Structures are given as structure tokens and as C-alpha cells.
Amino acid sequence: MNFAAIPDRILLTGLGMCLLVVFYIALLVGPVDIGIGKAMMDLMAEKPSMDSLILFDIRLPRALLAMIIGATLGLAGAALQGLLRNPLAEPGIIGVSNSAAFGAVLVFYFGYANIAWFALPLGGLLGALASVVIIFALVGNSKSVVTLILAGVAINAIGGALIALALNFAPNPYAMQEIVFWLLGSVANRSMNELLIALPFVLVGWGLILYCGRFLNALTLGEETAISMGFEVKRLRWILVIGVASCVGAAVSVAGNIGFIGLVVPHLIRPFVGAEPRRLLLASTLGGGILLLVADIAVQLLSSGGELKLGVITALVGGPFFLFLILKTRNLML
């Protein structure tokens, strides 16, 4: 299995086209049929119609969010697998997912979620920020990447425990249900506002991660060699951690915890880029976008009554699929 000869241009163009097609399909899928052409025309003519309302206020934000969050998870997973040189790394490994989730859960707990639309994402972002501060305090100047993983595991455990505590003392069953549903992860019923509050953090995160591509390539030769090649390993490691925390924190803040995308996508893409961490970054970004859009389309097609949550389906499909990948590629694994 050697696809490594596929040039970047072709691979990225192919993935990009695929993403556009899936994105278009995502706009078509929903409980009612709408004409996308008609909706566009109505918008241009400044003539509000049901079609344009559904397209621009419901489906477009949902599809954009699914795409951007999927892309973020794919990119962050690829970056962390490269940084930690561990194929089991996923975006949540540095603890940012659970602490962002806890931030959002607090907002539910105290009942601020329905007061202002920005309360939830803000709570999530503050939670993500807290995890970065704690990682800094714990890891500090340590040379070892193991300290980073351990700190992440600890923060994840604490975040999970605090979420459990909040559920335990939830003021009423309704709040508890709200929290649980939110935690399952979804991009349904989000507006452009949520997209816009997350976008700056997502873009900053992407930028920081992509800047480190060359460093991740050098790191495949080991840290000492990377230093001798002119990389300030400690500084670049922090840039990566902050980049991941920024975009993943923002993603969790608006959509809850969506698992497995960040773990599976880099593995799916890796054979096509000759395992090169730097080339994996952009390709995983596109791949993550595609996969989460597909998952969200599936969610809408499968559930008619009570909505199936996106995070549930990614986990349901992602877990067994990951097993299959391990069986298939165990000799080629990192």
C-alpha cells in the first residue's frame, strides 16, 4: 500500500473537492426539501422566503460548524500524534476538551445558558483557557513530553470528575438532561453567532499548528536532532499546545465533546502522505471536515423523532472502525 507518491496538489485538491460535494449535500439534507438555487435567488432579491430562511439560518450554520469542527479535530489530532510521537494521541489528550466541557457545564448548572447565546461558548472557552494555565503551571520548563501527557491525563480526570459532580448536584432533572445532551456533542440548532464567536480562536489555533509543520517533520528524527536542526523545541511545543487548546477549546465550546474524529482521521490519511507529519496536517484538516459532515448527514437521515447526537454516532462508528484500522495496519503503525 503505497499512495505516498500522490503529490500534495492532487491529494489536497481531491480532498477539497470531496469536501465541497459533501458540504453541498449537507445543505440539501433536512426534514423539509428546499431549493438551494431558489433560496439564493430569494436572498439576492432581498425577498425573505421559507427556503432562504432554512438555508441561511439553520442549515448553513450547521454545515459550516460541522465542517470547521471536524477540520479542527482532524488537524489537532494529527498535530498531537506528531508532537507526542504516539498514534493514540487525540485532541483531548492535553485535557482541553474536558475542561472546556466543564466550563460549559457550569453555565448550564447555574442556569445562564438561556440568558445569553454567548454564555455557553464563553464558559467553554474559559474552561479551555484554565486547562492551558494549569498545564503551564504543571509542565513549566520540563523537557519531557511525558510530563505533558501526564498533566493532560490529570486535567482530563479532574475535568471529568467535576462534570460528574455538577451532574450529581444538578438543580433539576431538566438541567441534568440539558447537560447530558450537550455533552454528547452536536452541531444542531446552532446559529451564525456561535460560529462567529468560535471562529477567531479556531483560526488562530489552525495558524499556530500549521506554522509548526516543519518542526513536526524534524521531530521524527528525535528531539536532540530537531534542536541541532535549529528548532527551539520547548518554545515550539508550547506553540503547538496553545494552538491545539485554542481551536479544540473553541470547538468543544460550541459543539460539546465529539470523539474519535481526531483519532481516526490522521490514521485514515497517513498512508496517503507517506506518514509525513507536515503533509498530514492540511490533509487531516480537510479529511476531518469531510468526515464530520458525513456523520452529521447520517445523523439527520437516521433520526426522525428524537435527534441522535453527532458525538454518539462518531463514537459508535469510530470505535469499531478504529479496531478495523488497527487490524489492517498493525504492521505499518508508527
Would you tell me which residues interact with another protein (CB under 8 A)?
A: 4, 8, 85, 211, 213-214, 217-218, 220-222, 224-225, 227-232, 274-277, 332, 334
What lies within 8 Å, CB to CB, of 136 at 6+ separation is none
Locus of grid cell 513549566: 140
Element counts in the chain: helices (H) and strands (E): 15, 0
Minimum CB distance to another protein smaller for 274 or for 320: 274
Q: How far is the CB of 81 from another protein (least distance, A)?
A: 11
Q: What are 14's three cell numbers? A: 481531491
Q: How large is the greatest C-alpha to C-alpha distance in the chain, in angstroms? A: 63
Q: How far is the CB of 15 from another protein (least distance, A)?
A: 17
What lies within 8 Å, CB to CB, of 151 at 6+ separation is 94, 95, 134, 135, 138, 139
Q: How far is the CB of 218 from another protein (least distance, A)?
A: 5
**CA angle (297 as vertex; 294, 301 as ends), nearest 5:** 135
Query: From start to end of 180-229, where are the E strands?
Result: none
Q: How far is the CB of 137 from another protein (least distance, A)?
A: 22
Minimum CB distance to another protein smaller for 28 or for 233: 233
Burial of 328 (0-12, 13-18, 19+ CB in 10 A): exposed
Minimum CB distance to another protein smaller for 191 or for 228: 228
**CA angle (56 as vertex; 306, 65 as ends), nearest 5:** 65
Instruction: Supply the DSSP string of 206-262, one letter for each residue.
Output: HHHHHHTHHHHHHHTT-HHHHHHTT--HHHHHHHHHHHHHHHHHHHHHHH----SHH
Minimum CB distance to another protein smaller for 182 or for 272: 272
Minimum CB distance to another protein smaller for 148 or for 236: 236
Return the percent helix, strand and coil in the chain, to nearest 5: 75, 0, 25
Look at residue 122 and give its three-state secondary structure. helix
Q: How far is the CB of 9 from another protein (least distance, A)?
A: 10
Q: How far is the CB of 270 from another protein (least distance, A)?
A: 9
Minimum CB distance to another protein smaller for 276 or for 307: 276
Q: How far is the CB of 237 from another protein (least distance, A)?
A: 15
Minimum CB distance to another protein smaller for 25 or for 326: 326
